[in-house]
A and B are shown apart, each in its own frame.
Chain A
Amino acid sequence: MKKTLGLVALLGVLVACGGDNNGGGNTAPSAPNTVAGLVTDIGSGVRLSGVTVRVVGSSRTTTTDNRGEFILQNLPAGLVKLDFEKAGYAPGHGIAESASSAQTVVVALKKEGAEQGYNPTQARTLYQRTEAGPYAVIFQPNSLNTTDTNLRVVVTPLDPTKEDAALPGDLVAGGASPTPLAPVTFAEFSILDSQNRRINLKPGSSAIVELPIPPELRSRYRIGDKIHCYAYNPQTGRWEDFVEGTVERSSVDGTTPVLRASIRHFSWYGGAPAVQDQECVLVEVSNRFGKLEGAVVTARPGLRAVTNRLGQANITVEKGVPINFTATKTYTDTFVDANGNLVPKPGAKVIDIGRVYEDDLIGLDGKNYTRTPGPCPSGSSQSVRTAATNPLPIRVAPAPEGFFQATALLQPGGLAFVQLEKGIPNADGDLENAKPASGANITITDNAGKTATLSELAPGSGAYFANNFTVEPGKRYTLNIDADGNGSVDGSGSAFAVGNVAWSNLVNGGSYSASNLTATWSDSAASQPGYNALYMVSFQRNGGSGVSDFAVYVGSERSFQPRAQTSPPTPLAPGTYTVTLNAFSGALNGSNLNITDNITGVGMQGQIYSIQPVNPITITLTGP
């Protein structure tokens, strides 16, 4: 679902507006040596049917059903590595433990990039561009292990600040003392020959890849910094081949900061430094019947843990950054009846999923959740704690059967507004027969811990806002959306509210030299780590329509020299001009300024963004 920035109509809307089920229990069966799963599209959240699921190292395969689910039973004990394949998507991978109770794999697939032809006897740079910049692979001649000269190269970019659920496996430096890895930038590289076979590098050969640093992380990783890089090995289910990459300027566009590194095996590849500042957080997983033992909790950036009989687990996370928690629990030979009860039914299964996206664990609800500095002590995930704790709650429930779409607007100094719709997604991920979705539970939290629950404006409207909650310019806001109101979070996302934006050197009625003018403006949030606003500036001469009567700027800088788009550019014509300035914060497709999804989840998608228009001013430009 995309929206053209200039057509956003939500501001007008803003101007106008200003249970637990007691049935069943937690005793439903969960068969040993079983792995169940759910496969979705990372871009839309749609469940994907017809995905081939292969157990690595065996001949076992299955296919996802029309709900995007699968189940594999009677697996050998130990680590289970799974490959997921569907036409049009980059290869997906997942891991789970075949253990005493069923485990769940939640996999999101990413639509693959465009195919590009390549003759491997040539040196060549191929790239796929996104709003973050060009994702490139640089081939040396004759470095590929093939004699076929008609190859197809597919580069599938992945921005972990928005799409980390599509990263395969666990991003962990494991072994005796596991350490989380913090994802920075990734891509999948597929080289296919004429027979559609995957091609790799010759033994002893390498290629160079360049992966853009996501805009949200550019304040953390500077030019010259070293970042650890890894390739995913589907055979072992681990990230391997650690080498150091360097942050440099893109060799494609000369400006984008990219992670440049050497690659030896084409697969998923990217940068993820070991997390130095860790903390141990106590979480508590519950479903509609109470606390849940044996739920698997995964944190990113962080580790994985299993809840004890109190439904609690200690889990190591990176300190001071947003964390995605996902908890899962699978019941076998069980289904959910109309009252939400778990009822025995041979061959059926129930997959409960819950997500919590925490911008920062400090101060949520005005409290500190139970946590300690450093990694969790070994084995503590299974210890049973006494009651004097305040665990972070994660509620799980079956993922929604329908499909939801959220559009959230943060109005600096004003409201937080969410429009929620339910419908049937088409092949592009857009909703058809969309209707307002009532009954959702939506919370909004700022990065200082202030939280509010949004209320539906009118029954049946699907429009939600929070009373007595003012969006402060420059703060980061996180939405957690339980779209179907069954207690588990189905989707989440975050964005900065645009800061206070104002002209620095232009005033209404002012007069300036057309040849010397550089317009500058300020943004009170500019120094916030991770803040990356887009500014749109236009100069339009009143009554003029020629090429020298108009200049426009779209970008992240806070200065602009207005020039007519002649060749070479020339000063604007003297005259009276209307000058506009707008600031935007959210996710954009860089090529055509479409607002793109940054609320992700299972069975839902959406966008959260902020816009701040500055009142237009009139100025006079003078000639030489």
Chain B
Amino acid sequence: MPFLVACSSAWPRDAHLVLVSQAGSSTVAVIDPRQGKTLQRITVGGLPHRMVLSPDGSKVYVVLVGSQAVAEVDVRSLAVTRTFLTAPVPERRADGSLIQAHFDQDAFTQTTCFACHNPGGAKPFIVGERPVGIALSSDASRLFISHIRQGRLSEISLKDGAVVRSQDLPPTGAASEAADVARVGSKLVVALRPRQPSTEASAVRWLDAQTWQTLAEAPTGADPAFVLPLEEGALVSNFESNTLSLHTPGAAPRLFTVTPGPLGMLRVGKGQVLSLNYYSNAVSLLNLETGESQSYRLELAGQTFVNPTHAALSPDGRLAYIVSSGTEGHLLVFDLKSSRVLRAIPIDGLSFDVVVVGRK
């Protein structure tokens, strides 16, 4: 299927590739946005979702929600170089029974559950503590990982891939699932949500990045999906509603209105944020100073592109690469100046996150 093209505006001069996590196929797609096609699919593990790029641009860390691990992708070779478990391989099930296969197959030496629990392999396919949120330490030597199942926060040393610290975060009310983690300077921000679906409040908790001592906490909507770190605060998308909430320690949250189902967010200029609004098939450009937002439906040539999840910025800051994550997946090339979709590049359905990397 050819990709849709609205016009051919000038492309960023910096050669780059776009990496998309494709949750349905256990892969990361390597896309050349100029050619408008997937060059390569890297098998990384079960349910790849969030991704972060190392500050030097050499590595991409992919959270494997279904394999209780993080995959490290080398940008130069476009290959998985390492995987890290985010929590120990369990000896027993929730009902206390022994998982004999873990002993028989020495599962405790593995660095990802995907080695055994893969298509055609051990059942079930999706296992573990369901890591979801990811953030890098200030010196980029460690990863912070939040887990949904037990509300666990883990710290992984990138030197040897070992979990160096792990802690179940105490719940606040019904809010017990650590849906995301971000780092703001020397602090960590964790979004704790109730088990979904729920109408009860979630909590945005500030921790000292060194000691993990709680510094502050404020309530937010029932289903916080993503935490965007800012200079002093953190912007939280309230997926169940049409709001974003700006949190700073010790201050009341400030609410912004977008269109329904905000999920991912992207900084696109000073004081400007692009909100990806999953349920309204739209994006909103939000001015954090004025609180004003303008929303745009994701359409091209009469076709609506549904369920945007995350976005990444082109090197020159003019384009946003947006994942349209319906069962028909597309990577949308969105021009920030004209606020319209320029291209729609077919990718797998149920894709999720996106990063831009330099081209070797």
Contacts and interface: CB of A to CB of B under 8 A. Distances in A.
Interface of A: 140, 172-179, 181, 203-204, 206, 208, 224, 226, 228, 230, 233, 235-236, 238-246, 260-262, 264, 274, 276-278, 319, 373-374
A224 B328 CA distance: 28
B24 A173 contact: yes
A183 to B, nearest CB: 13
Nearest to B130: A226
Contacts of A276: 118-119, 125
Contacts of B307: 240-242
B181 to A, nearest CB: 19
Given A174-B328, A206-B240, A242-B350, A277 B304 contact: no
Interface in B1-42: 22-25, 29, 38, 41
Contacts of B161: none
A181 B23 CA distance: 13
A176 B22 CA distance: 11
A236 B349 contact: no
Contact of A179 (B118, B120, B259, B348): B348
Contacts of B346: 175-176
Contacts, number: 106
Contacts of A174: 327-329, 349
Given A176-B38, A177-B41, A261 B327 contact: no
Interface stretch (B133-141, B164-172, B191-199): B191-199
Interface of B: 22-25, 29, 38, 41, 94, 118-120, 125-126, 195-197, 199, 223, 240-243, 259-261, 278-280, 304, 306-307, 325-330, 346-351
Determine which residue in B223, B325, B328, B351 has the highest number of CB atoms from chain A within 10 A of its CB, and name it: B328
A236 B326 contact: yes
A203 B282 CA distance: 13
A244 B330 contact: no
B350 A274 contact: yes
B351 to A, nearest CB: 8
A208 B194 CA distance: 14
Given A174-B349, A176-B329, A179-B348, A278 B22 contact: no
A241 B329 contact: no
A154 B119 CA distance: 39
Contact of A203 (B41, B118, B260, B348): B260
B25 A242 contact: no
Contact of A173 (B120, B279, B349): B349
Given A174-B349, A240-B306, A277-B119, A246 B38 contact: no
B330 A262 contact: no
Contact of B327 (A242, A243, A264, A319): A242
A301 B271 CA distance: 47
Contacts of B197: 206, 208, 245, 260-262
Contacts of B25: 177, 179
Nearest to B1: A176
Interchain residue pairs A-B with the least CB separation, the first 6: A173-B349, A175-B329, A262-B197, A204-B242, A175-B349, A276-B125
Contacts of B349: 172-175, 178-179
B326 A238 contact: yes
Contact of B242 (A179, A203, A233, A235): A203
Determine which residue in B196, B197, B242, B261 has the highest number of CB atoms from chain A within 10 A of its CB, and name it: B197
Interface residue SS majority, chain A: strand
Given A173-B350, A204-B242, A235 B304 contact: yes
18 contacts: A173-B329, A174-B327, A175-B328, A175-B348, A175-B351, A176-B348, A178-B349, A179-B24, A179-B349, A179-B350, A181-B327, A203-B259, A204-B260, A228-B350, A239-B327, A240-B327, A241-B306, A262-B223
Contacts of A233: 306
Nearest to A179: B24
A373 B242 CA distance: 44
Nearest to A375: B25
A262 B24 contact: no
Nearest to B261: A264
A262 B329 contact: no
Given A203-B280, A206-B197, A236-B306, A230 B126 contact: no
A447 B358 CA distance: 53
Given A203-B260, A240-B306, A276-B125, A175 B196 contact: no
Contacts of B327: 172-175, 181, 230, 238-240, 242
B239 to A, nearest CB: 9
Contacts of B24: 173, 179, 274
A158 to B, nearest CB: 18
Contacts of A274: 23-24, 350
Contacts of B125: 276
Contacts of A224: 94
A233 to B, nearest CB: 7
A51 B350 CA distance: 34
A206 to B, nearest CB: 6
Nearest to B306: A240
B195 A246 contact: yes
Given A172-B327, A176-B347, 12 more contacts: A175-B327, A175-B346, A176-B38, A177-B22, A179-B348, A230-B327, A240-B326, A242-B307, A243-B196, A246-B196, A262-B240, A276-B118
Nearest to B241: A204
Nearest to A245: B197
A620 to B, nearest CB: 39
A243 to B, nearest CB: 8
Contacts of B243: 204
A203 B329 CA distance: 24
A261 B196 CA distance: 7
A228 B126 CA distance: 12
Given A204-B242, A240-B307, A262-B196, A175 B347 contact: yes
A257 to B, nearest CB: 16
A240 to B, nearest CB: 5
Nearest to B37: A176
Determine which residue in A140, A176, A203, A206 has the highest number of CB atoms from chain B within 10 A of its CB, and name it: A176
Contacts of B94: 224
A172 B197 CA distance: 24
B42 to A, nearest CB: 13
A271 to B, nearest CB: 13
B129 to A, nearest CB: 13
Nearest to B330: A175
Contacts of B260: 203-204, 264
A277 B120 CA distance: 6
A264 B346 CA distance: 26
Determine which residue in B23, B307, B327 has the highest number of CB atoms from chain A within 10 A of its CB, and name it: B327
Contacts of B241: 204
A220 to B, nearest CB: 9
Contacts of B195: 246
A264 B319 CA distance: 30
Nearest to B26: A276
Contacts of B23: 274
Given A179-B348, A240-B307, A374 B240 contact: no
A177 B28 CA distance: 12
A390 B242 CA distance: 55
A228 B65 CA distance: 14
Determine which residue in A226, A240, A260 has the highest number of CB atoms from chain B within 10 A of its CB, and name it: A240
A181 B350 CA distance: 11
A320 to B, nearest CB: 10
Nearest to A57: B302
Contacts of A239: 327
Contacts of B351: 175
Contacts of B196: 243-244, 246, 261-262
B360 to A, nearest CB: 23
A264 B330 contact: no
A140 B199 contact: yes
A1 to B, nearest CB: 36
Nearest to A123: B199
A174 B348 CA distance: 6
Contacts of B119: 276-278, 374
